[in-house]
Amino acid sequence: MAIKFTDVLELFEFVNFGSPFCHEGYICKTTGKTYFYSDFGDNEPLPDDIDNTEQYLAIPYKNDLGLGRDLVFEFIQSYLPSQYDKVRSIFRGKGAYQKFKGLLEQANLLDTWHEFEVTRTQHALRAWTLMQQVEIID
């Protein structure tokens, strides 16, 4: 099976948009066709056997690939190590990502964060596809 990396990335972004676990994405292992489901919209019917892991790959959530809080702390250790304790405190409460991004904006690092996040996401997704034996077409 071969699939365009942009298709995998778009599906990953869809799955990870908004509230956790409200969106799902799948790739058929034999055809490379992608499927998606959202709790909030009109959906095409998923195949009846979508839970068959021999036939379909479920697109992972970002935390499954270490792209949630782990990524935030990796970034802080590299770019703002003096703020590490403050960021840990931020992530103990509500609105953590908004506060985190506010801190980055004050430090003039918001664009750097976005570049870091995109690069790490693409790297993690490529590694995931290799582990799943998915052939990627760039």
- Sheet with 34-38: list strands edge to edge: 34-38, 23-28, 56-58
21 vs 23, higher pLDDT? 23
Close Cβ partners of 49 (under 8 Å, ≥ 6 residues apart): 55, 56
Instruction: Look at the block and give the residue holding tokens 């570049």.
Output: 115
Output the pLDDT for position 42: 81
- In single-letter form, the type of residue at position 94 comes to K
| Token pair in block for residue 86 | 């403050």
Percent of the chain with pLDDT strictly greater than 70: 100
Rounded CA gap, 14 and 81, in Å? 32
Beta-bridge partner residues of 56: 28
State the pLDDT confidence band at 117, using cuts at 50, 70 and 90.
very high
Q: Say if residues 25 and 59 touch (Cβ distance below 8 Å).
A: yes
pLDDT digits (tens, 9 = 90+) for 77-107: 999 999 999 999 999 999 999 999 999 999 9
Give, in order, the Cα–Cα distances in Å from 43 to each of 25, 35, 79, 98: 12, 10, 41, 30
Q: Say if residues 16 and 22 touch (Cβ distance below 8 Å).
A: no
Give, in order, the Cα–Cα distances in Å from 25 to each of 32, 60, 84: 12, 8, 34
pTM of the model: 0.86
Output the pLDDT for position 135: 86
